[in-house]
Amino acid sequence: MIKERQVFQNLILEYVGTPVITVTIDGVAVMSNITLPTHSVRQTRIVLLPATAIGFVPQLQTDATTDISFQFQGVPDRQYDTQNLYQHFELTFKGSVRLNLFLDQLQLKPNLLHLNNLDLSVRFNKTQDTRKIYYPPLSYGYIPHIFQTDLSIKTGQIISFKPISLPARFNKGLRRHSEYQVTYRGDVQLAIFLDGRKVVDRNLPEQEIPQDGGFVTFKDYFPSDSNGNVLQYLQTQGDGEIALFETDQTLLDVEQPQQSMN
């Protein structure tokens, strides 16, 4: 039976030592002679595959002298037959990682940085952390992808990842936004875009951050004549995080309608 064509997202390995691996898809190498981080005891590691890992038959070659278990994970490419406007990736990881961002195999600069690489480290003395990696404004496409690169330098481990598309209430036709509110913690540089045009760029006030590390809500006004069809926000710098973002217009779509009392 012929298998469906797959978008292979990652490879799960269980090994000890420092193996070198090569991954091929349908006989074509997509990763060649990659040295994996050293495991002093037998451990499991998720290795993200490149954006070009699309096909029918994946294969792994390795120089490991001890037994190595592995499993490719992918989804049928028919699941990506709809174009979406992607907002960010939500990534859970351990240690320190270096990431590249792709859409339809085109490399994009994450968080509007000038470099292709984004380095992240676990914060707040936690054993693992979850961060958002933002796409540039108006990132329409079919297949979102994130890739961990330079494993010999940044040896942290990816635990889980998922792409998040722009919610419908942020893309509901021409509207005029007057106020916005953002719930956040830590150091956050916020950028807001309307139809790809930056209308707000500011560092959120640190003096309002509570000492217990919890979240705070900040409200402010848009510039005059902030009209647009597609509203997007990004965190461009800072080790903080944005939990929620809404405007006076998008809140109208999430609030429950009032019921009259007879």
Are 88 and 159 in the same domain? yes
Would residue 61 count as lying in a domain?
Answer: yes
Closest by CA to 3, choosing from 78, 63, 60, is: 78
218: domain range?
175-254
Residues 101, 111: Cα–Cα separation, whole Å: 10
Q: Which of 78, 98, 125 is the last residue of a domain?
A: 78
Domain count, the chain: 3
Mean pLDDT of all residues in 116-122 = 94
Residues near 255 by beta carbon (within 8 Å), at least 6 away in sequence: none
Task: Summarize pLDDT for 125-134 with one digit per residue, the tens.
Answer: 889 999 999 9
> 137 and 196 share a domain?
no
If asked whether residues 215 and 195 sit together in one domain, one would say yes
> Has residue 259 been placed in a domain?
no
Identify the DSSP state of 128: S
Q: Are 36 and 106 within one domain?
A: no
Tens-digit pLDDT profile for residues 199-252: 999 999 875 445 566 888 999 999 998 999 999 999 999 989 999 999 999 987
Compute the distance between CA of residue 97 and CA of residue 110 in angstroms, rounded to an integer: 14
Q: Write down which residue in 125, 144, 167 finishes a domain.
A: 167
Amino acid 208: pLDDT = 47
Is residue 135 located within the same domain as residue 186?
no
Contact 160, 233 (CB under 8 A): no
Within this chain, do residues 179 and 238 fall inside the same structural domain, yes or no? Answer: yes
Last residue of a domain, one of 134, 167, 200: 167
Whether residues 152 and 117 share a domain: the answer is yes
Give residue 65's pLDDT.
83
Q: Is the domain of 2 the same as that of 68?
A: yes
Domain assignment present for residue 261? The answer is no
In percent, the amount of the chain with pLDDT more than 70 equals: 93
Classify residue 260: in a domain, yes or no: no
C-alpha to C-alpha distance for 221 and 232, rounded to whole angstroms: 15
Residue 198 pLDDT > 80:
yes
In our burial notation (b when 16+ CB lie closer than 10 A, e otherwise), range 219-237 reads eeebeeebebebbbbbbbe
Confidence at residue 125, expressed as pLDDT on a 0 to 100 scale: 85
Pair 203, 153 in one domain: no
User: pLDDT tens digits for 155-189?
Assistant: 999 999 999 999 999 998 899 999 999 999 889 99
Indicate if the pLDDT at residue 123 is higher than 60.
Answer: yes
Tell me, yes or no, whether 262 lies in a domain.
no
pTM: 0.89
Question: Looking at the domain assignment, is residue 211 inside a domain?
Answer: yes
Return the H-helix or E-strand segment holding 251: helix 251-254
> Does a structural domain hold residue 120?
yes
| Contact in structure between 57 and 26 (CB atoms under 8 Å) | yes
